[in-house]
Amino acid sequence: METIKTRTIMTKSDQGNRWFGIDYHMNLYKGCPMGCIYCDSRCEAYHIDNFDQVKIKENALEILEEELKSKKYKGVVSFGTLSDPYNPLEEKLELTREALELILKYGFGVSIDTKSDLILRDLDLLEEIEKKNSVIVKISITTYDDELARKIEPRVISSTRRFEVLKELTDHGLYAGVLMTPVLPFLTDTEENILNMISKSSWANARFIYTKMGMTLRTNQREYYYNALDILYPGLKEDYIAVYGNRNICNTLQYRHLMELFLKRCSEAHILTDMDMIIRAYKKEIPQNEQMSLF
């Protein structure tokens, strides 16, 4: 296990709460072993060398506790923006669980992105945090098709299992939904996939599905993705190059049709899709004076 030195764990969101109402970003781990061929976190902008090797940050919990103590605003802390907080090492190391205990202790809210069923281990903490502050869980699912998922997300639990995890979270009263990003041109951008994703999300009582109906292809990420396509789908890389060239943002060619279909069917299923509405639905207003009295 490689460790890295760090001075900070939490950073203030630079998006003004526009991304799921997040106030602070946090990644206890650096790198991710799940092998998703499309992962945006591989791009060089994030400066993560040997991305598939997980590293831990030295004294992460001690630094986190000091930072939580120092924050006046008890906002929502994000887990998992660059590395899944429930990677396989977490089962033994329990960094995420201990961080959630600190989040609870100091009265903050939490936003979690994951593809792992290990999150169910921490249901007790998430329920306690939700009593005092805001909790949102985003289960990342790109396709309903387990066979396709095994190819593009080779070291992740099946999509079927992820929908089951989502249902268990919502059955426990937590605000949870689906992060359907990316949508991969020529692979997951079909009516069949979109409609089945909505149907299975509805079965799991998803509160929301969020998508941008496309993908990013940036430096390093693009090369890794194209190399994977050459192995899995020979010739498909050339279709990407012909259509998208060197674009960083690659929306599906059926963007308008699929987005209209997606919005219509989600509305019929009473599943939220708009970012502002999702934030308003889960994020609690906690006045500063109330925070002081509670915590």
For residue range 271-284, list pLDDT tens digits in order. Answer: 999 999 999 999 99
Q: How far apart are CA 27 and CA 13, in angstroms?
A: 13
Residue 291 lies in a domain: no
pLDDT on residue 47: 66
Residue 295 within any structural domain of the chain: no
Is position 248 within any domain? yes
Average pLDDT of 108-119?
97
pLDDT above 90 (res 5): no
pLDDT score at 290: 45
Q: Mean pLDDT over all residues of the chain?
A: 92
Average pLDDT over residues 100-129: 97
**Residue 53, pLDDT score:** 83
Residue 290 maps to a domain: no
Is 62 within the bounds of a domain? yes
| Total-model pTM | 0.92
Whole-angstrom CA distances from 23 to 14, 16, 71, 102 are 9, 8, 11, 16
DSSP 119-185: GGGGHHHHHHHHHHS-EEEEEE-S-S-HHHHHHHSTTS--HHHHHHHHHHHHHTT--EEEE--PPPT
Q: Which domain CATH number covers 251?
A: 3.20.20.70
Q: What is the mean pLDDT of residues 221-245?
A: 96
Split into its structural domains, the chain has a count of: 1
Query: 294 lies in a domain?
Result: no
**CA dihedral sign, ordered 39, 275, 136, 65:** positive
Structural domain harbouring 165? 2-285
> Does residue 140 sit within a domain?
yes
Structure tokens at 10: 């939490």
According to the model, what pLDDT value does residue 294 have? 44
Above 90 in pLDDT, residue 187? yes
Q: Does the structure show a pLDDT above 90 at 288?
A: no
Strand partners, 57: 4
